[in-house]
Amino acid sequence: MDLFELNKHEAIRRLPVVLFIAVLALAGIIGNLHVLYVYTTCFKPSTYRVFVLLLSIIDMLCCCVSMPFEMVDEIFPFAYTEIISCKIFKCINTAVAVASAITLVLIASERYRRICRPHKTQMSETMAIYSSIGVVVAAIVFTLPALYVYGRKTVPDLPIPGHNVSVYNVTGFECTWGDHMDGSIYGYIYYAWVLLSIIGSMIALGVLYSIIGLTVKKHNNFMRNTLRNRTKNDAINSKSLLPVSVADDTKRVSTESRNVVNAKCSNGSKEVFVPEVNKRHSTAQVKEGSSQAGNNLAIPKSSEDNTSGQRISGRKSSTESSYSTQTYRASQAPLRPQETSISDKEQRITKVLFAITMLFICSFLPYIIIMIAYFADSSYSEGLNTTELVLFLMSFRLYMINSVANSLFYGFFDTKFRKHVKRLYREFCYRCTRLVSRKNT
């Protein structure tokens, strides 16, 4: 068996891995195109939009560059001879993973400041843009050593795929640590550097989101208790402070008017009797009735009369004001949680970003475990059967699911994003229907 025949048999064994990566790449490209279009055209400028677009660009780079390279690497497991492309693509793969980790830490710190320190100075959109540029630069600088570590590695005496038998005098080439790294410790230092950065990011994310979760939980419990107490107080106040009826107000004002008129007439030569009036009569009607009952006796007006009239109207207006105030308080609704420092919008955004972070942690755990196993024994993957090899290679690349699932999480948790996507497809279907109807006519 020559090199190309051995490579063909090994590529057939790895065909499920190639299909797995191809499905991820296709789904990721479609999903991230939706995210880029919707968040660019339908969302207002904000730090949340900046971070979402940054993550989407990183995911798109992974789907369009990293995943196709991984497919080529699996198709030519024993016959990859391009040194330059191997260095460049391995560097891009590592930079994408590191950029995702740093971006999520940056997002978590922004969420922590906005939720737990709402009265402090918050990150603006301009600061978010500069931070995103800094993330990209830091990821590139961080992964530059990959250009030196990776390269073409010569594999003498290739094994027969699925067997523990080697074919002598057949030499293959892999895209991994270069031949210049044999016996060197720099490769292990670089791997340890990458692993520690990812693990440190996971720890930072866990601590920040734990504090954020506790703060949101305390806030929700406080708001629940506050709303419950306000509802009870409003119910008690509406029963104990019943509004005075308009009829009672009119009766009181009429009685006061009659007393005032009798008091004024008693100071004159004749005594005037003011009869009882209907409750619906106003103060003016009471005065008119009293003048008619007193044999058309003219009651002289004085400054005291004006003062009494003002006093009566003042009492009436204060009574009406008290009635309107009590009626308004009885119908006043309790405050909503949106009017507090932590709004429902901020909590919804935090839930979306927290779900993305949890997916990042879970998908990178198999990668970390495999890398630690490689540090312990670099030959542990040799001699695996086809099923074990496929599971091993898929587990090593599970972190690529981040580039696909982020867009799905926006659709699940972000109602505004989901609404705009539905509207986009409704418009598309409407235009397609009109185009078909025009062709038919």
Q: Is residue 297 part of a domain?
A: no
CB–CB of 380/373 below 8 Å? yes
pLDDT at 321: 44
Predicted local confidence at residue 233, as pLDDT? 74
Taking a C-beta distance cutoff of 8 angstroms, is the pair 44, 420 a contact?
Answer: no
> Does residue 241 fall inside a structural domain?
no
Q: Which residues contact 22 (CB under 8 A, 6 or more apart)?
A: 67, 71
Residues spanned by the domain of 110: 3-224+343-440
Task: Please say whether the beta carbons of 312 and 257 come within 8 A.
Answer: yes
Q: How far is CA 353 from CA 209, 212, 218, 388, 391, in A?
A: 10, 12, 20, 34, 29
d(CA 307, CA 304): 5
Is 273 part of any domain? no
The enclosing H or E element of 374 equals helix 344-376
Return the pLDDT at 20. 93
Q: Shortest CA distance to 158 belongs to which of 168, 147, 145? A: 168
For residues 359 and 421, the answer to whether their CB atoms sit within 8 Å is no
- Of the chain, the end-to-end C-alpha distance in Å amounts to 64
- Whether 319 maps to a domain, the answer reads no
Q: Is residue 296 part of a domain?
A: no
pLDDT the model gives residue 166: 60
* Structural domain count of the chain: 1
Tokens found for residue 106: 């940056």
Instruction: Output helix, strand, coil percentages for the chain, rounded to the nearest 5.
Output: 75, 5, 20
Asked whether residue 274 is assigned to any structural domain, the reply reads no
CA distance linking residue 344 with residue 359, whole number of Å: 23
- Residue type at position 26: L
Burial class of residue 343 in the structure, from the number of CB atoms within 10 Å of its CB (0-12 exposed, 13-18 middle, 19+ buried): middle
pLDDT of residue 57: 93
Q: Is residue 429 part of a domain?
A: yes
We report the CATH number of the domain holding residue 410 as: 1.20.1070.10
The reply to whether 175 falls in a domain is yes
Question: pLDDT under 50 in the chain at which residues?
Answer: 242, 244-247, 249-251, 253, 257-258, 260-340
| Residue 327: closest CA among 234, 195, 440 | 234
